[in-house]
Amino acid sequence: MIDHVGISLPSLAEGTRFFGRTFELLGFPGEPYEGGGFVEWEDFAIGEASVDRQLTRHLHIGFYAPSREAVDAWWRDSTASGYDSDGAPGPRPEYGPEYYGAFVLDEAGNSIEAVNNGPRRQPGVIDHLWLRTRSLEDATRFYEAVCPAVSHTVERHDGRTQIRGSGATFSIVEGPPTEGLHLAFEAPDLATVVAFHDAGVGGGFVSNGEPGERPIYHPGYYGAFLLDPDGNNIEAVFHDR
């Protein structure tokens, strides 16, 4: 499944306020983890953009809402707080018979959604992602190369590609490319991390960090990193605790 997603925003303080309020209204328990310049809610983290950390743009991310009423309350609160609507609450039957969502734009212009689509299907706060790419063919080939190593399938559809695992899903379409995204796949062991990296490099894609421990995150953190064709940082990680 997706282990975590990280984005960079113009202001960490403003991002913390917006997403903290989002998760409060959507009923996620507990306090976020804060440290190392990041704020993290389960499988979603934010940081502040800088010279070394590219601003995240052109991303759509959907968060699970426990009810349609929660979707409505979140949208009303967000728009009343000055965030632009990207779609009022309502059914979206093109996505599914039970699908009910609402959308606002965060401070970087990313499309943020609260969605109720039946019972919760996986742990974490993320329901789904949509990424945009300069070339759907190139992006699809990248994920076709690396996803078998981390137990995700890649499905080609007319005008989009969908990647599925046991948790949150994500899809890719052509358009102004998603930038500054960090997406990490969960790995069950060290060998999977190595296989992920080898598959990407063997497919002609660019390494962004060879397999190894990253104790800066926590003891036993073992990850490897690749750049997708649009320059996003894609990782496989094993939390050897």
Confidence of residue 119 (pLDDT cuts 50, 70, 90): confident
Q: In one letter, which amino acid is 143?
A: Y
The confidence score (pLDDT) of residue 53 equals 93
Question: 145-203, pLDDT tens digit by residue?
Answer: 999 999 999 999 999 999 999 989 999 999 999 999 999 999 999 999 999 999 999 99
Q: Sheet containing 111-116: give its strands across.
A: 85-91, 100-105, 111-116, 59-64, 126-133, 169-174, 160-164, 153-157
pLDDT in tens, 194-227: 999 999 999 999 999 999 999 999 999 999 999 9
Residue 121 has pLDDT above 90, yes or no: no
Instruction: Give yes or no for residue 241 having a pLDDT over 80.
Output: no
pLDDT beyond 80 at 42? yes
Which domains are delineated in the chain?
Answer: 2-239 (3.10.180.10)
140 phi, psi to nearest 5 deg:
-65, -40
Q: Calculate ∠ Cα 45-47-53, nearest 5°.
A: 125
pTM to 2 decimal places: 0.95
- At 89-110, the pLDDT tens digits run 999 999 999 999 999 999 999 9
Q: What is the pLDDT of residue 30?
A: 79
Tokens representing 208? Answer: 């962004």
Q: How far apart are CA 164 and CA 181, in angstroms?
A: 18
Give the pLDDT of residue 240: 86
What's residue 93's pLDDT?
95
